[in-house]
Structure formats: C-alpha cells, structure tokens
A = this chain, B = another copy of it.
Amino acid sequence: MEGGIELEKVFQYIEENQHLYISWLIEACNQPSVSAQNRGMLEMKELVKAFLGKIGAKVEELPTNGFPIIYGELLSNKEKTLTFYNHYDVQPEDPIDQWLSNPFQSEIRDGKIFARGVADNKGNLIARICAVHAYQQVYGELPINLKFVFEGEEEIGSPHLEYFAKEFPDKLKTDGIIWEGGTRDVEDKRLHVGLGVKGICYVELSCKGANTDLHSSEAAIIENPAWRLVWALSTLKNEQEEIGIEGFYDDITPLNETEKKFIQSIPYNEAVIKKLYGIEQFLNDVTGDELKERLIAEPTCTICGIESGYTGEGSKTVLPSFAKVKLDFRLVPNQKPEKIVQLLRNHLDRKGFTDIEIKQSHGMYPFNTDPNDPFVSVVLQSVEEVYEEPPIIYRNLAGSSPMYKMLNQTNIPAVQIGVANTQSSFHAPNENILIDDYVKGIQMTAAVIKNFS
C-alpha cells in the first residue's frame, strides 16, 4: 500500500455509502432470532454467514449443543490479530403492545432505526462487517488479521462459549477483542468505553399448590403458591435494598481507592436520566458518587418477571396452583453465580421455603480488562479520531456479558465500544439506535483496524 493509509478516505467512503450499510442492518434486524424461543435462528445464522461472505471471510459454522457459533477469518500473515465478538440472537420482543412499530420490521423515525436487536447486538455485528467492507473497498488489503466470533446464545447466557474457548484455542488466539458493543450518552454525546462487566446469576423460582387451579373460596384451607413465593421473595431483599441472603456479600472484593476515584470521575447526568425514565428520584433517593458506585460496582437482586393465576382483564376468583418468578442477580468481582445459587438454596431452606424450587437458567462471572493494556490505548485513540467529545472509560459496564467464559484462561484484552446510546431501550420495547451513531460506529471500527496495525 503506497503512500500509507489515510483513514479519512475510509471515513468518507462510509459516509457516502451509509444507505447501503443501513440496508444491511435493516435486513439483519428484520430477521427474528429469538434464542429464548428458538425463533428464526436457522435463518439468521445463514444471514450472518452471507454477510461474512460479503467481505470474503472464510466462514465456519461451529456446532454446539445449542445454536452454532459462526466463526469467520480474514488472515493475511499480518503481525496483529483483532477479534470481533458479537451475537446474532436477540431478546424476546414482548410486551409487544408497547412497540410503536413492528419489532421485526425496522422503521426509521427521527434519525433513529427502531427494531428488536438493533442496539443489542445486530447494529454492532453489522457495523464491524461494514467497517471491514469499507476498508477493503478503499484499500483492498487489510493491515491486520481479523477474526469474527458471532454466537447465537448470548441472550440465553452463552452456554457454549466456554466450550468454544476450550475446543478451539487457535480460533480464540488474538491480540485484542472489540467486545459486543457499547453506548453513547445522548446528552453529553460522549462514548462509553467499557473495560469489563458485572457477572450475572439468573434463576427461576417456582412453587406448586394443588394439582389444579381451584375456586378461590378454597383458599381458606388450601395452600396458595403465590403467597408462598411472595413471602419467600420478601426475605431476599428489603426496602433498603439490602440483600438478605446469608453470605451474599462475603466474597466481594471491595473497591480500592483508585477504583473509587475512577468511578467518581465518570460523569452521570442524573437530571437527564430522571427525565428520560419519568422518575422523580433514584432508588432509595441515592445520588452523586453513591449512585455511580451502586450502578457500576454493587450487586443487585432483581425481579425480572413474576406470574401466577389469572392476570387477564377483569376479575377471576381463582386459587392458583402454580407460581413462578424470574430473578437476576448482577454480580461484582469475585462473586460466583454457582455459589449464589447455593446460598439462595440454603437461605430458602433456612427460612422454611423448602417447597420452592430453584432452576438456574444461566450464570456469568464478572470480568475486567487491565486499563493499562496497550490495546485500550489503541481503542481510545480510535474513538478520539471519530468523536469530537472525549470518551468515558468504565471500569465495568452495569450490564453483563459472557466475557469471562471466553477470556477467563487468557490475557486477551477486551474493550466494549458500539453504536447504541443511553436511550436505546435495551431488552425493552422500541429498541433503537441513532443512524449517526451507527455511521460513527462503523468509522470507529475502521479506525481500530488501522490503529492496531
């Protein structure tokens, strides 16, 4: 490549071809791929392979016992190898009645693309491919080797990512990973760069009563599993947000002073978030540094869903025969999902709720990348070349991601950057990204490819 690489030409190509790249994203989003319900997964897998084909990647479908990992390579004996981790599955779209447009027919409104998965994670997956495509169109050859690990089970806890890491050490080998995605603050416009994630432990608790729903007059003498569940839940966390499971906090590595300062340095516009979510105050009225510490460094215990008996219109006088609740615990460094499940079991037994069953649906460890790794600097430099505003670096994002599963046994640095924003409605109705962020995200990815060489 004579005369060196000018990123500006690639940026311009991306700018000029954004309609093509938007059409690719829409094509990807319009294909449902709900792993939790095994809906559209086969079709989506083929689509992902076709997209990787557009950039000439050597594509392999790695079978797992679940949905396969689509693995791609663009190797050309370069010194450095960069990997993109993304997932092609999405969350279920309900509550469907709260969507303003069909979640699987992308719609553009107010400079935003609305679709299930557009922020999490198809916008990022496609942006990585577009960046490579644009670079190829402008300069032909790539300055680094590229690997693509696109899994189809992230939204159900990545049960086979560890298997990938163990079974395919050569495919795992890399010098740095751009992990999944990230957000940009809609107000101050600053990009969030993540160096890690909280862990997660997701469980379903269930309780059975009589062998059939009964007329509620029987409730005078027959056990109600909904009450059992309510009583059990009320022992798990109190109104001060203190988790009552014995030993829950024991293993946590407390924040050191450097980490505290790091968290305190992160801007967080409380007024904007309150307005955005329509709330008058944050949980327990916390604010300032305490708020940021809770968000970034505190574990949680969340009712994600609860159901029992009749929940339709009107009134039905029924004694339910079954009750269930979905709970997620977000974990911080040194907490382990399998231990949390054991502590939960012990707790319920001790409180007399031996009749409540626990089913763990997935677990992930927390993970952190060393902020001093040179790869982090490469990413930060790339961000600065695309965005006017300086990025915000997070010790870990508040969400969870299966980083640990893939990178646990390695020293590979992983950094999260992406095309979503703080109003993207992840996992919620009207999920969306800004077209402007999508285009910038493609450009930023291209910059990482160049700067890592």
Contact = CB atoms under 8 A, between A and B. Distances in A.
Interface of A: 35-37, 91-92, 94-95, 98, 155-157, 198, 200, 202, 204, 209-224, 226-227, 230-231, 233-234, 237-239, 277-279, 282-283, 286, 291, 294-295, 298, 300, 302-320, 323-324, 326, 328, 330, 352, 361-362, 397-400, 425-430
Contacts of A397: 217
A318 B300 contact: no
Oligomer: number of copies: 2
Given A36-B314, A307-B307, 12 more contacts: A37-B312, A37-B313, A92-B316, A198-B217, A202-B315, A210-B278, A217-B400, A227-B233, A233-B234, A304-B315, A306-B311, A317-B400
Contact of A302 (B157, B224, B231, B398): B224
B309 A316 contact: no
Contacts of A92: 310, 312-314, 316
Contacts of A314: 35-37, 92, 155-156, 361
Please indicate which of the listed interface residues A213, A306, A313, A425 has the most CB atoms of chain B within 10 Å of its own CB: A306
A61 B316 CA distance: 26
Contacts of A300: 216-217, 219-220
Contacts of A230: 230, 233-234, 303, 306
A91 to B, nearest CB: 6
Contacts of A362: 315
B315 A326 contact: yes
Contacts of A219: 300, 302, 330
Contact of A305 (B35, B222, B294, B310): B310
Contacts of A320: 303-305
B157 A283 contact: no
Nearest to A275: B211
B304 A317 contact: yes
Contacts of A330: 216-217, 219-220
A249 to B, nearest CB: 14
B279 A223 contact: yes
A291 B313 CA distance: 33
A239 B352 CA distance: 10
A427 B313 contact: no
